[in-house]
């Protein structure tokens, strides 16, 4: 049996905030509560959630930019050594939201794309040039761009360069953190099509983070809905928004997905997310939930099966036909 591309076990992150005179943290913020999930090879897991729910914190742990507080990360069945950044780079790569500022402005495109070929794979000059030609062809960029600098490119071109850099590392798993949010709608479609082609061509696995429901539904095999640092629902992409089982997912889905519209639930207006410094004892969604009972305010529900390959963290899940 092939191991999953990505497997997370109880992965969490707590940030210390504020310092006393003695340097000890005053308080802590649990940005990501323990998350356990797997992504099979060749699939796309979409992650949706409102601003501040922990999407980027999760992504940054997966690529070694942030040390997890608890838990473990396995890629293709082998644990990632969180102390060795180069080991991450060969197996998992990060594509950033803001394509131009994610490229070093003082380096040419050739230098940017060559770095992983040199550092991670130790290729010589001729091998690097051959590999760059191949990669540029797969992301539809002309080789004459190689001696230019990042500021000379449009957002869509810069994002394709970012994708080329990730491909150069030869990693099979890509973490895409809002990869098209900064782009015009017409350019978004081009980049999404390119990502779909590359996934097919190279058998890539994606973790696709976005606050845009329509985009996530279109690109994902499965979708995880994040609320206040926890996965509240996870299931097949075609079911999660069509027959949501968690009241929070229903609220999101009811705000009619429109491409490019930011994700804020209608009733969320005026109703803030819980205070991360003073989280509620029970379900984090209880204060906004029409179905909440006394139990929801004192006890936090765990993810439980609600259907085939479909889980929700709710004591009173919606019926499939509700
Ligand atoms: N370095 C840090 N120190 C303290 N708190 C942090 C730090 N980074 C993130 N947080 C907190 O962790 C929570 C999750 O933040 P994160 O950036 O992961 O959210 P997000 O879902 O990516 O939001 P957005 O959609 O706005 O990008 C927030 O409450 C944020 O304030
Ligand atoms: Mg973010």
Q: Is 54 in the pocket of ligand 1 (CB under 6 A)?
A: yes
Counting residues of the chain whose pLDDT is more than 90, the rounded percentage is: 70
Compute, in angstroms, the gap from residue 79 CA to the centroid of ligand 2.
25
Full-model pTM: 0.90
Best mutation site among 17, 27, 29, 231 for ligand 1 pocket (most ligand atoms within 8 Å of CB): 29
How far is C-alpha 57 from the geometric centre of its chain's CA atoms?
Answer: 9
15 lines ligand 1 (CB under 6 A): yes
User: Which residues, by Cβ under 5 Å, contact ligand 2, an ion?
Assistant: 55-56
Q: Which atom of ligand 1 is nearest to the CA of 53?
A: 21
Per domain, the residue ranges of the chain are: 6-16+35-220, 244-322
Closest CA to ligand 1's atom 19: 52
Could you tell me the pLDDT band of residue 262, with boundaries at 50, 70 and 90?
Answer: low
Q: Which ligand is nearest to the CA of 57?
A: 1
Residue 230's nearest CA partner among 211, 248, 242 is 248
Between the CA of 68 and the centroid of ligand 1 the distance, in Å, is 14
pLDDT bucket at 259, cuts 50 / 70 / 90: very low
Write phi, then psi, for 55 (nearest 5 degrees): -60, -50
pLDDT tens for each residue of 302-313: 999 999 999 999
pLDDT of residue 212: 87
29 lines ligand 1 (CB under 6 A): yes
Q: What is the 3-state secondary structure (H, E, C) of the chain?
A: CCCCCEEEEEEEEEEEEEECCCCCEEEEEEEEEEEEEEECCCCEEEEECCCCCCHHHHHHHHCCCCCCCEEEEEECCEECCCCCHHHHHHHEEEECCCCCCCCCCCCCHHHHHHHHHHHCCCCCHHHHHHHHHHHHHHCCCCHHHHHCCHHHCCHHHHHHHHHHHHHHCCCCEEEEECCCCCCCHHHHHHHHHHHHHHHHHHCCEEEEEECCHHHHHHHCCEEEEEECCEEEEEEEHHHHCCCCCCHHHHHHHHCCCCCCCCCCCHHHCCCCCCCCCCCCCCCCCHHHCCCCCHHHHHCCCCCEEEECCEEECCCCCCCCCC
The pLDDT tens digits of the residues spanning 132-188 come to 999 999 999 999 999 999 999 999 999 999 999 999 999 999 999 999 988 888 899
Does ligand 1 come within 6 angstroms of the Cβ of 31?
yes
Nearest bound ligand to the CA of residue 264: 1
Nearest CA to ligand 1 atom 6: 15
Task: Check residue 265 and give its pLDDT.
Answer: 54
Mean residue pLDDT of the chain comes to 89
Gap from CA of 94 to ligand 1 centroid (Å): 17
Residue 197 binned pLDDT confidence (cut-offs 50, 70, 90): very high
- Ligand 1 and 279: CB distance under 6 A: no
Looking at residues 104-122, what average pLDDT do you find? 92
Which CATH entry fits the domain spanning 6-16+35-220: 3.20.20.70, 3.30.565.10, 3.40.50.920, 3.40.50.300? 3.40.50.300
Residue with the nearest Cα to atom 11 of ligand 1? Answer: 31
């Amino acid at each position: 049996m092939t191991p999953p591309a990505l497997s997370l076990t109880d992965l969490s992150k707590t940030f210390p905030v504020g310092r006393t005179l003695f340097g000890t943290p005053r308080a802590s913020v649990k940005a990501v509560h323990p998350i356990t999930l797997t992504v099979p090879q060749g699939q796309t897991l979409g992650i949706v959630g409102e601003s501040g729910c922990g999407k980027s914190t999760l992504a940054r742990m997966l690529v070694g930019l942030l040390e997890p507080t608890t838990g473990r990360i396995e890629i293709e069945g082998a644990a990632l050594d969180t102390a060795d950044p180069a080991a991450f780079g060969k197996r998992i790569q990060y594509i950033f939201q803001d394509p131009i500022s994610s490229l070093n402005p003082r380096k040419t495109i050739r230098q940017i794309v060559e770095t992983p070929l040199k550092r991670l794979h130790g290729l010589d000059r001729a091998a690097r040039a051959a590999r760059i030609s191949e990669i540029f062809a797969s992301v539809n960029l002309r080789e004459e761009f190689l001696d230019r600098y990042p500021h000379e490119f449009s957002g869509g071109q810069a994002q394709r360069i970012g994708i080329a850099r990730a491909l150069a590392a030869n990693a099979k798993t890509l973490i895409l953190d809002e990869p098209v949010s900064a782009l015009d709608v017409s350019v978004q479609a081009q980049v999404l099509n390119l990502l779909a082609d590359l996934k097919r061509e190279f058998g890539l696995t994606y973790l696709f983070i976005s606050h845009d429901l329509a985009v996530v539904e279109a690109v994902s095999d499965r979708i995880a809905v994040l609320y206040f640092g926890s996965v509240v629902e996870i299931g097949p992409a075609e079911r999660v928004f069509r027959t949501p089982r968690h009241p929070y997912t229903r609220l999101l889905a009811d705000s009619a997905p429109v491409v490019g519209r930011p994700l804020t639930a209608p009733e969320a207006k005026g109703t803030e997310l819980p205070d991360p410094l003073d989280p509620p004892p029970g379900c984090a969604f209880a204060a906004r939930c029409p179905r909440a009972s006394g139990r929801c305010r004192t006890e936090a529900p765990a993810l439980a099966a609600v259907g085939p390959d479909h889980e929700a963290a709710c004591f009173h899940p919606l019926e499939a036909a509700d």
